[in-house]
């Protein structure tokens, strides 16, 4: 299976670090080849330009930026979704990984 690249975006890029760790653990348990990383909203543009990203998952605190991100990636085949607030708060890496994988084309 090809490597899946999942970018999580939050206000400062730090509140999602624990979620990234849980998602990576879930990916390893499933034998998935995945590059999962978190960045701040201000750093996201650089990563969008430099990396081949499959899906962008926004933290609930930056959900208001969904339309902006959709415009930035229009025509690139990258889905943008907001992480469910409950899954985010519970740091449910398995569920967030499932959601991300379901969006990858």
**Residue of 10, 55, 65, 78 marked active site:** 10
28-46 tens-digit pLDDT: 999 999 999 999 999 999 9
50-74 tens-digit pLDDT: 989 999 999 999 999 999 999 999 9
Nearby residues of 5 by Cβ (< 8 Å), 6 or more positions away: 34, 35, 36, 51, 52, 53, 54, 55
Q: How confident is the model at residue 16 (pLDDT cuts 50, 70, 90)?
A: confident
**Which helix or strand (DSSP H or E) is residue 82 part of?**
strand 79-82
Q: Which domains does the chain have, with CATH numbers?
A: 4-103 (3.40.50.2300)
Please say if the pLDDT value at position 1 is more than 60.
no
Main-chain phi, psi angles of 40, to 5 degrees: -80, 160
Q: Is 10 a catalytic residue?
A: yes
pLDDT at site 99: 97
Please say if the pLDDT value at position 2 is more than 70.
no
């Amino acid at each position: 299976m090809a490597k899946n690249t999942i970018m999580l975006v939050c206000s400062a890029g730090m509140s999602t670090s624990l979620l990234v760790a849980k998602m990576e653990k879930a990916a390893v348990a499933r034998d998935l080849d995945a590059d999962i990383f978190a960045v701040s909203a201000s750093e996201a543009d650089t990563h969008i330009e430099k990396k081949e990203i499959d899906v962008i998952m926004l933290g609930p605190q930056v959900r208001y930026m969904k339309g902006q991100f959709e415009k930035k990636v229009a025509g690139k085949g990258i889905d943008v979704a907001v992480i469910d607030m409950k899954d985010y708060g519970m740091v449910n890496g398995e569920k967030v990984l499932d959601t991300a994988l379901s969006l990858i084309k």
